A and B are shown apart, each in its own frame.
Chain A
Amino acid sequence: MAKILEKKELAPRTHYLRVHAPVIATHARPGQFVIIRLHEKGERIPLTIADSDSSVGSITLIVQEIGGTTKQIALLRTGDDIRDVLGPLGAPSEIENFGTVVLLGGGFGIAAIHPIAKALRQAGNTIISIVGARTKHLLIMEREMQAVSHEFVVMTDDGSYGRMGLVIEPLREMIEQGRAIHRVVAIGPLPMMRAVAELTRPHGIPTVVSLNPVMVDGTGMCGGCRVTVGEHTKFACVDGPEFDAHLVNFDELAARSRMYREFEELHVCRIEERLQQHEVPQGVAGQ
């Protein structure tokens, strides 16, 4: 059991949870994630460790509501318990002094980019961050990202805040201007990561993306998270989740992420039904 020490809504359908997990907090490194299971009947889902504080033994999770489990997370409150938290999982990000690093974050990807940006900054890199959201009120962690960046750009799809357009635009301009960029890290929706990979490929800029295939155990036991990277099949939960963007087979990944879609839609209907009847499974939505 892990207690939720703090829970708040950062933006519509985006939730901040600080969870008591002392051993994970002291071991977590940027780029790693946890697998949680809310209750006895719950699914195991992966979530990035957005921050950790070993002094109070807490980790921070930023969760976007998309389906059955994340909608149940939305209902949790400070003081509730999460039944199982396993981590830290995955290989940590490569942190070195590369020179100038451009980090791109979209949606909950911003939460995943933040600890990496912080560590890269500490390692002496020049940090250029480009973060994006559909619209102004969906943008998360602006202040935190700005604090770790030497240069900071905000993009919104509708132009309600920052510049209008996709996060890839400023990167394209920087490349066209011939700015020295030693590394690019992109975390966000698949189409965004893929576009970044295509943009940097002809320029040979080393580019890292953090993949989020469907996972079950997170320990290398099921192979459900397998992705094709270059010639090889890799298990994202142990070999990743970060990989060389230029070698990732995005077509396959996109198809595989859709594998359970029909089920999930059925499931979400069920959960909404449950919520309407106020029949919420044990361990969720405490009083």
Chain B
Amino acid sequence: MTLTPQERMKIPRHPLPAQPPELRVQCFAEVALGYDEQTAREEAMRCLQCKRPYCVDGCPVAIDIPGFLKEIVAGNIDVAAAIIKKTNSLPSICGRVCPQETQCEERCVLAKKGQPVAIGALERFVADYDRRYRLTKPEVTVKASGKKIAVVGSGPAGLTAAGTLAQMGHAVTIFEALHEPGGVLVYGIPEFRLPKEIVREEVSSLLDLGVEFNLNVLVGRTLTIDELFAAGYSAVFLAPGAGVPQFMGIPGENLNGVSSANEFLTRVNLMKAFLFPEYDTPVYCGKHVAVIGGGNTAMDAARTAKRLGPEKVYIVYRRSEKEMPARREEIEHAKEEGIEFMCLTAPVAYHSNSRGWVEEMECIRMELSEPDESGRRRPVPVPNSNFRVPVDTVIVAIGAKTNDLIVKTTGGLTVAKKGYLLVDPETQMTTRPGIFAGGDIAGGEATVIAAMGQGRVAAHSIHRYVLERG
């Protein structure tokens, strides 16, 4: 069946089916349900197969988007999967968490009419199909290089670099501080948005490639980078993320009931506190929850809190909804789930009861002035507009900083602004030869796909580096 461009453009975009909000707020099962084969095909048919596919420019790893969409239409899901996997080794993850509306889909020619091809949802469809029927299987086809490479951190950057290097024949060991691999994918992003089973499967396919996981190793304390070199590793890829939670430094932030989103999410996701007391780790969630921030982390914290049964959950954000950095889909899902948005509002203090627990949040209203360096309009407080809201739980999700442990214990690394490691953008090599870095530690865009892209680039330059040295 061939359609004319006009006919293709008439097909409306297929919404991604989702669990109804009333049901999903009662459990941690995945919210978005994914396309079936028929819907995927019809959606893929909307693609105009542009000669100059702008969508590809929007994808940080330049997936051949029209290429894989065409294969979906033809029913060759295995070929579609192979095309995607040429540049993206974790497609079932990216199809779920990429901010498509500011990447591939934003550039799609059909976006002008507000109806871009649902590239993310289709990528997810192909990847899930591929996993279910085990169509593609990563293999090591080259002979062993005899080189040992160390990867520090098992988030998307580390996993991607490890997989790529293993397929090039190197012996790769991942050193991870936590007891489970995956980085933010396991401790941050909740189950209802990214089932942990998917991360476990990706990890197991790396095991099949011969990648070794050395968990419970905090590099900089358990072992230093110099010890890794001394133990025979020829190169090191640093991907420890930027995991140190920031606080605002306002009065009452250390009261009981106030925590970082990282702590809250780690207790629930990594430690399974939502199954307490079957699992040993508890999490505190009161009746009135305020989440401070407007990014993905804030949405995840708010929606996770909602599932623990409070009466009210607020998102408190100092700019307007338009400026929120979270993925659009997350914002919509949060609203459907009954989360109340308090925009143009900033907390200035938390007040406690007599037992040291937060009882009230004092806020000030904000208004937007002219755009700042980031291009977003700068929020300024409206004088004398303070007001108080009763809350017993506050989750601070205003961003993260880098951890300086590795820099402090490793000579020759240079940090750029905000503690990010300085790297050559062409090769991801740091200022110390043999040490490469990528992902959030290298000051990327703080997205899964950007971290993966840097992991891939680094893997290729590590490959060249170790071979050149013989």
Contacts and interface: CB of A to CB of B under 8 A. Distances in A.
A174 interface: no
Contacts of B179: 37, 44, 83-84, 86
Given A43-B271, A43-B281, A89-B221, A223 B247 contact: yes
Given A27-B221, A87-B222, A217 B178 contact: yes
27 contacts: A27-B221, A27-B222, A41-B278, A43-B271, A43-B279, A43-B281, A44-B179, A86-B216, A217-B178, A219-B177, A220-B243, A221-B266, A222-B260, A224-B259, A226-B254, A227-B254, A228-B254, A233-B247, A233-B253, A238-B403, A255-B356, A256-B254, A256-B256, A260-B284, A263-B282, A266-B277, A267-B282
A180 to B, nearest CB: 35
Contact of B245 (A69, A223, A228, A260): A223
A172 interface: no
Interface string A170-213: 00000000000000000000000000000000000000000000
Interface of B: 177-179, 187, 215-218, 221-223, 243-245, 247, 249, 253-257, 259-260, 262-263, 266-267, 271-272, 276-282, 284, 355-357, 403, 405
Instruction: Tell me which of A24, A221, A270 has the highest count of chain B C-beta atoms within 10 A of its own C-beta.
Output: A221
A85 interface: yes
B222 A68 contact: no
Interface in A28-43: 37, 41-43
A278 B223 CA distance: 40
Nearest to A231: B249
Contact of B277 (A24, A223, A224, A270): A270
A1 B268 CA distance: 24
Nearest to B259: A224
Interface in A66-88: 68-69, 83-88
A267 B217 CA distance: 29
Contacts of A259: 256-257, 284
Contacts, number: 121
Contact of A85 (B177, B216, B267): B216
A255 B256 contact: yes
A56 interface: no
Nearest to A263: B282
B256 A233 contact: no
A143 B310 CA distance: 53
A185 B55 CA distance: 63
Contacts of A42: 280
B272 A41 contact: yes
Contacts of B244: 220-221, 223, 235
Contacts of B253: 233
A264 interface: yes
Given A222-B245, A222-B260, A43 B254 contact: no
A252 B266 contact: no
A23 interface: yes
A85 B178 CA distance: 10
Interface of B (DSSP majority class): loop
B426 to A, nearest CB: 30
Interface of A: 23-24, 27, 37, 41-44, 68-69, 83-89, 216-224, 226-228, 233, 235, 238, 251-252, 255-256, 258-260, 263-264, 266-267, 270
Given A216-B263, A221-B244, A221-B403, 9 more contacts: A83-B179, A217-B177, A217-B178, A219-B403, A223-B245, A238-B405, A258-B356, A264-B282, A266-B277
A23 B223 contact: yes
A152 to B, nearest CB: 32
A259 B392 CA distance: 12
B396 to A, nearest CB: 8
A43 B284 contact: no
A267 B263 contact: no
Contacts of A238: 403, 405
Contacts of B255: 255
A224 B263 contact: yes
Instruction: Tell me which of A41, A69, A251 has the highest count of chain B C-beta atoms within 10 A of its own C-beta.
Output: A41
A222 B262 contact: yes
A119 B266 CA distance: 36
Contacts of A217: 177-178, 266
A37 B179 CA distance: 9
